[in-house]
Structure 1
Amino acid sequence: MNTPRTLEELKRRLHLAQASGSEIKIGQRALAALSQLMDQPEEVAVASISSLAERTGVNASTLSRLVRKLGFAHFAEFQLLFRKQMARRDRTRFYSDLAGQFLSDQPQQEAEPARSPQLVMGQLAQEESQNIAQMLQHLDAQVVEQTVALLIRAPRVRVYGLRQAHAMANYLTYALGMLRDDVSLLGHPHHGIAHGLTEMEAEDVLVVIGAAPYTRATIAAARMAANHQVQVIALTDSHGSPLAAEANYTFIAPTSGSWYSNSMAAFLVLIEGWMALVASQLGRSALLRLKRHEALIDELNHEL
């Protein structure tokens, strides 16, 4: 079954499922939940699967099974349709709509009492745990092994991501650079990505990191690298991501949650997992590099 690419296609899939004799077998409660979701696309775009399940009166596992029957690999891919719709409608409201989940439209004196720090932190932690669990559930062991091998043997590794993804790109660059040579962020800030890509050849690797709403520059970097036979690894939020379309290897890390931007915990866990495997396979050479790194830190501390 092909994955719906737009909300209109999803609506047609819903109508087919509701028709008698449909090949798509979905229970009445799940269909009712889906109908509710289709009526509130703004909330679906920004809310977590657990909160949406609560609002529609079903379990999160029911929503997970539902979206798979509709042709999606997982809930994050389903949710991406709604995020794209929201981005097309108003590209500037992604963050404020997310933040709106924690705010009240009522006057201050009529607002509900503020939730306790423990409740807010617990909700976010639960959502991040769900994102990590979904990421692990969809990992392909063979793809992980091939990616780790590329990160070890490629002559050069460059990493690129903007906005929040820049923090993840910087973290991966630092961690991998502790284990092997010639790892850096793609391009000097004042030179641009085209200049950085001219340094790369077919056996090199570019890791691109990003989630909806995607940046044009990250998509362009992935496309340009792929066009010049550079190996592209994408760390993104859905197989429907434009970064996945350009990649040799794609890793999906869900980003849904209640805070005012994309939740990045699953990205971080995936990066740390890569690095643990890289260090394990490099063995003694990784250990020697880490010891040299420690020695340089000690030397710097002595000088201070």
Structure 2
Amino acid sequence: MAPRTLEELKRKLQKLNSPTSDLKLGKRALAALTQMMDNPEKVAVTSISLLAEEAGVNASTLSRLVRKLGFASFAEFQLVFRKHLARSSRTSFYSDLAGRFVDEESDGGASLAPASLALMTQVAEEETDNIAQMLSSLDVDALEKTVNLLAKAPRVRVYGLRQANTVANFFTYALGLLRPDVSLLGNPHHGVAHGLNELTQEDVVVVIGAAPYTRATIAAARIAANHGMQVIAITDSHGSPLATEATLSFIAPTSSTWYSNSMAAFLVFIEGLMAMMAGRLGRRGLASLKQHEQLIDEVSHEL
């Protein structure tokens, strides 16, 4: 079983250093693990490729390492560090990440052009890594089941808070172009309980979120599942509490240099899923898009 906390991971590392350990790691892999354990804040927010480069190993070495430790993916391994960061500094998750960019001796007046380009390049490369990891972990059968559920369900409701709310809005808008009765879960004035009460076991609830998770999103997923609804989670790890509650879950890594969770892999996944939905719905989806276009024209003529 994979360690669930940083403390459990530290104990596992101590056992690995013991001559009597059943699990044998190469010297370079063990050195890389030790280096990561010494820098938990960095591991929580840095891509696998950059961590591998700093440790002097290949990214594939880290992937094999975390699987030997019992993790399904590097994203699941990284979630241990992200949870530790969130627990140890609940009110400064974002400022801790942003603090890495702040030069205490600078007044902000100097030209930052070379550093800015390097930082932009680094962020872009990390986003590319996240998208590649998302693609490599995709379960084709789960994708097909999701497309069928989203096509057949009488109602689809989508829920995500804070940064994930933007992604939930995007999901809702994109799917709403192809089929009827798609909306965000819960009218702001009525609440999530009222929204869930409108649904039946034939309906689908899509939950979106990453660490540090909101209690409300976890509760919505749990309640929907308990009432027999199909729950689809788009989240950052199979160890995520959203994935635990879900019928089907999809993993989009979120590690990045910037001061919050990267959403690039989430958005690319949704775009791909919507392309599959357009193919699945066929003429029905095309008719819905044409009706939408007609309404846009009518509104434009009225203005």
Asked whether 1:103 is paired with 2:102, we answer: yes
CA 75–112 in structure 1, closer or farther in 2 if over 3 Å, else same: farther
| Distance in 2 between residues matched to 1:40 and 1:104, nearest whole Å | 20
Task: Quote the offset at 1:154 in angstroms.
Answer: 0.5
Let me know the Cα RMSD of the aligned residues.
Answer: 1.8
| Distance in 2 between residues matched to 1:260 and 1:290, nearest whole Å | 37
CA 124–249 in structure 1, closer or farther in 2 if over 3 Å, else same: same
Q: Which residue of 2 aligns with 1:62?
A: 61
Q: Which residue of 1 aligns with 2:261?
A: 262
| Distance in 2 between residues matched to 1:237 and 1:277, nearest whole Å | 22
2:48–2:59 Cα contact (<8 Å) kept: yes
Any residues of structure 2 matched to 1:16-27 within 5 Å, and which? 16-20=15-19, 22-27=21-26
Task: Quote the offset at 1:24 in angstroms.
Answer: 2.1
Any residues of structure 2 matched to 1:8-157 within 5 Å, and which? 8-20=7-19, 22-105=21-104, 107-108=105-106, 114=112, 115-157=114-156
| Distance in 1 between residues matched to 2:56 and 2:195, nearest whole Å | 50
| Distance in 1 between residues matched to 2:86 and 2:295, nearest whole Å | 47
2:47–2:129 Cα contact (<8 Å) kept: no
291-300 or 256-265, which deviates more: 291-300
- Counterpart amino acid of residue 228 in structure 1: H
- Counterpart amino acid of residue 245 in structure 1: T
Q: Which residue of 1 aligns with 2:251?
A: 252
Any residues of structure 2 matched to 1:185-204 within 5 Å, and which? 185-204=184-203
- TM-score between both structures, scaled by the size of structure 2: 0.95
Task: Quote the offset at 1:21 in angstroms.
Answer: 5.1
| Distance in 1 between residues matched to 2:25 and 2:44, nearest whole Å | 22
Q: Which residue of 1 aligns with 2:168?
A: 169
86-95 or 245-254, which deviates more: 86-95
Any residues of structure 2 matched to 1:223-242 within 5 Å, and which? 223-242=222-241
- CA deviation profile, 1:188-226 (whole Å, cap 9, x unmatched): 011110010000111100000000000010001001111
| Distance in 1 between residues matched to 2:26 and 2:111, nearest whole Å | 38
- Counterpart amino acid of residue 12 in structure 1: R
14-23 or 242-251, which deviates more: 14-23
**Please, which runs of 5 or more residues in structure 1 have no aligned partner?**
none
Any residues of structure 2 matched to 1:275-290 within 5 Å, and which? 275-290=274-289
Q: Which residue of 2 aligns with 1:179?
A: 178
1:203–1:231 Cα contact (<8 Å) kept: yes
Task: Quote the offset at 1:8 in angstroms.
Answer: 1.9
Report the 3-state secondary structure (helix = DSSP H, G, I; strand = E; otherwise coil) of the residue aligned with 1:262: coil
Task: Quote the offset at 1:104 in angstroms.
Answer: 2.8
Task: Quote the offset at 1:18 in angstroms.
Answer: 2.4
CA 281–170 in structure 1, closer or farther in 2 if over 3 Å, else same: same
Report the 3-state secondary structure (helix = DSSP H, G, I; strand = E; otherwise coil) of the residue aligned with 2:157: strand
- CA deviation profile, 1:77-125 (whole Å, cap 9, x unmatched): 11111111111112012111211232234x128x998443332221111
Task: Quote the offset at 1:66 in angstroms.
Answer: 1.2
Report the 3-state secondary structure (helix = DSSP H, G, I; strand = E; otherwise coil) of the residue aligned with 1:108: coil
Aligned-residue sequence identity (percent) comes to 67
Q: Which residue of 1 aligns with 2:301?
A: 302
Report the 3-state secondary structure (helix = DSSP H, G, I; strand = E; otherwise coil) of the residue aligned with 1:286: helix
1:46–1:97 Cα contact (<8 Å) kept: no
248-257 or 5-14, which deviates more: 5-14
| Distance in 1 between residues matched to 2:255 and 2:100, nearest whole Å | 13
44-53 or 183-192, which deviates more: 44-53
